[in-house]
Chains A and B, each alone.
Chain A
Amino acid sequence: MENRKVMVHVQNLKKNFGKLEVLKDLSIDIMEGEVVVLIGPSGSGKSTFLRCLNQLETVTSGTVLVDGQDVTDKHTDINKVRENIGMVFQHFNLFNNKNVLENITLAPVELKLMTKDEAKKKGMELLKRVGLDSKADAYPSQLSGGQKQRVAIARALAMNPDIMLFDEPTSALDPEMVGEVLAVMKELVADGMTMVVVTHEIGFAREVADRVVFMDGGYIVEQGTPEEVINHPREPRTIDFLNKVL
Chain B
Amino acid sequence: MLAIIQNYSGMLWAALGKTLLLTLLSLLFAMVIGMIFALMNVSKSRVLNCIGTVYVDAVRGVPLIVLAYFIYFGIPAGAQMLGFSNFRFSALQGGTIALAMNCGAYMAEIIRAGIQSVDKGQMEASRSLGLTYGRSMRLIIIPQAVKTMIPSIINQFIITLKDTSILSVIGFPELTNMGKTISGNTFKVLQTWAIVAIFYMMVIITLSKIAKRIERSVNRGK
Chain A residues packing against B (C-beta within 8 Å)? 54, 56, 79-83, 85-87, 89, 91-98, 106-107, 110-111, 141, 152, 155-156, 159
Contacts and interface: CB of A to CB of B under 8 A. Distances in A.
Nearest to A94: B125
A105 to B, nearest CB: 11
Interface in B117-175: 119, 121-122, 124-132, 135, 139-140, 143-144
A79 B131 CA distance: 6
Interface residues of B, number: 18
A82 B126 CA distance: 10
A110 B139 contact: yes
A85 B128 CA distance: 7
B99 to A, nearest CB: 32
Nearest to A83: B130
B121 A91 contact: yes
Contacts, number: 62
A111 B125 CA distance: 15
A89 B125 contact: yes
Interface of B: 119, 121-122, 124-132, 135, 139-140, 143-144, 222
A179 B213 CA distance: 43
Contacts of A107: 126, 129-131
5 contacts: A85-B128, A87-B128, A110-B131, A141-B222, A156-B129
A229 to B, nearest CB: 28
A61 B132 CA distance: 24
Interface centre among A85, A87, A110, A152 (most CB of B within 10 A): A110
A93 B129 contact: no
A85 B130 CA distance: 9
A111 B126 CA distance: 12
B127 to A, nearest CB: 7
Contact of B129 (A96, A97, A98, A155): A155
Nearest to B222: A141
A111 B131 contact: yes
A240 B174 CA distance: 77
Nearest to B147: A97
Given A96-B122, A96-B144, A110-B139, A54 B128 contact: yes
Contacts of A110: 131, 135, 139
Residue in A56, A97, A106 whose Cβ sees the most chain B Cβ within 10 Å? A97
Contacts of B125: 87, 89, 93-95, 152, 155
Given A95-B140, A97-B143, A97-B144, A82 B130 contact: yes
A139 B136 CA distance: 19
Contacts of B119: 91, 93
Given A54-B128, A82-B128, 14 more contacts: A82-B127, A83-B129, A89-B121, A89-B125, A93-B121, A93-B124, A93-B125, A96-B144, A97-B143, A107-B131, A110-B135, A110-B139, A152-B125, A156-B129
